[in-house]
């Protein structure tokens, strides 16, 4: 099957999505085109397409006419300028970033591929045909890195990972072990220094980030919302003990058998997604519980998380192919 995967190539999560999706499709023998969009080039292309100039149409459609691809898979947003170049069009959405403009175009989509069970009723309510595919994440495990009984939080550039409140909570507990936070300078809010916090506001190279991910037993991932949640699933792949928010979709991945879920104190709304803010007292109790665990318990939880990660990675290409065939 000829599949065109389309996403904004932002150098962050969407670029990872683009690469992983293309890899899973190629693993099952599909002929894959990766269309990575940048702010400048797709706007110029879209403008030319809508103007209907002959050269622009030829650049988009190529020599194959209207059906250059069997399927377009559009990640996160619906790009109307690409819809005519495939026989079928599929959306792989993130509910928290689903805009009114996407809703207006949803009737032109043949199916929605849901990355979480939580997303299925959200889009079914909008009248879409929804097929569950799940997703996968990069395998970041490096068993040669010594692991410490310390805490790690990969905030990146996101504003929805509970980072500010987590740092505030840690400052109130100087008796807790070190928390290392990695955050993009464009989104970081530096706070008062603390002896047990290493707040790395920097662009780390991948070698250093990989080392930090593998060097910590405990990964704090108290997301307010997730479309999928690479940083959470990557932590599971490391065999780490993951602590997340007890709300969907985060608790689809983390269960009591493979990590900790912390209850939330309040909720909000972002586009189609509910946001959930961890309860600080519940987080304090969970940190204390985690610190009291022996090595055997840590390894049991980490092994269960790694087992889920491996099973999901094996199953994802097959689920994806089954969904495509169902079209």
List per-block mean pLDDT (blocks of 10 residues) for the chain, which spans 327 residues.
94 89 97 88 45 43 63 97 96 97 98 98 98 98 97 92 96 97 90 94 94 98 95 97 98 97 97 98 98 96 98 98 96
Cβ contact 235:213 at 8 Å: yes
Give me the pLDDT at residue 40, please.
Answer: 57
Residue among 41, 150, 104 nearest 49 (CA): 41
Which residues fall within 8 angstroms of residue 114, CB to CB, at 6 or more apart? 120, 123, 130, 131, 132, 133, 134
Which residues are 197's β-sheet partners?
179
Give me the pLDDT at residue 190, please.
Answer: 83
Q: Which CATH class is domain 148-313?
A: alpha beta
Which residues are 221's β-sheet partners?
244
Cβ contact 98:105 at 8 Å: no
Torsion of CA 253, 307, 212, 116, to 10 degrees: -20
Give me the pLDDT at residue 187, please.
Answer: 86
Range 2-137+314-326: architecture per CATH? 3-Layer(aba) Sandwich (3.40)
Which residues are 112's β-sheet partners?
91, 130
Give me the pLDDT at residue 50, please.
Answer: 41
Q: What SS3 class is residue 300?
A: helix
pTM: 0.90
Give me the pLDDT at residue 66, please.
Answer: 55
Span(s) in the chain for CATH 3.40.50.2000:
2-137+314-326, 148-313
């Amino acid at each position: 099957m000829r599949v065109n995967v389309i996403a904004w190539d932002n150098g962050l999560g969407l670029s990872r999505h683009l690469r992983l999706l293309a890899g899973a499709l190629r693993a099952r023998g599909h002929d894959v085109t990766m269309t990575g969009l940048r702010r400048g080039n797709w706007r110029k292309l879209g403008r030319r397409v809508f103007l209907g100039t002959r050269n622009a149409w030829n650049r988009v459609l190529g020599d194959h006419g209207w059906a250059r691809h069997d399927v377009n898979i559009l990640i996160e947003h619906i790009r109307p300028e690409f819809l005519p170049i495939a026989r079928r069009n599929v959306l792989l959405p993130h509910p928290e970033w689903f805009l009114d403009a996407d809703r207006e175009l949803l009737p032109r989509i043949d199916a929605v591929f849901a990355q979480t069970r939580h997303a299925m009723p959200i889009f079914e309510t909008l009248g879409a045909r929804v097929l569950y595919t799940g997703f996968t994440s990069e395998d970041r495990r490096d068993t040669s890195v010594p692991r410490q009984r310390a805490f790690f939080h990969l905030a990146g550039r996101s504003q929805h990972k509970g980072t500010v409140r987590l740092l505030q909570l840690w400052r109130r507990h100087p008796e807790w072990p070190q928390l290392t936070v990695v955050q993009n300078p464009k989104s970081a809010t530096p706070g008062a220094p603390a002896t047990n916090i290493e707040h790395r506001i920097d662009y780390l190279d991948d070698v250093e980030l990989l080392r930090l991910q593998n060097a910590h037993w405990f990964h704090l991932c108290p997301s307010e919302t997730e479309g999928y949640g690479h940083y959470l699933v990557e932590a599971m792949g490391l065999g780490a003990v993951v602590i997340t928010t007890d709300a969907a979709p985060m608790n689809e991945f983390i269960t009591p058998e493979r990590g900790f879920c912390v209850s939330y104190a309040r909720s909000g709304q972002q586009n189609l997604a509910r946001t959930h803010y961890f309860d600080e007292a519940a987080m304090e109790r969970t940190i204390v519980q985690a610190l009291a665990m022996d090595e055997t318990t840590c390894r049991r939880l980490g092994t269960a998380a790694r087992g889920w990660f491996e099973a999901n990675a094996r199953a994802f290409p097959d689920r994806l192919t089954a969904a495509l065939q169902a079209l």
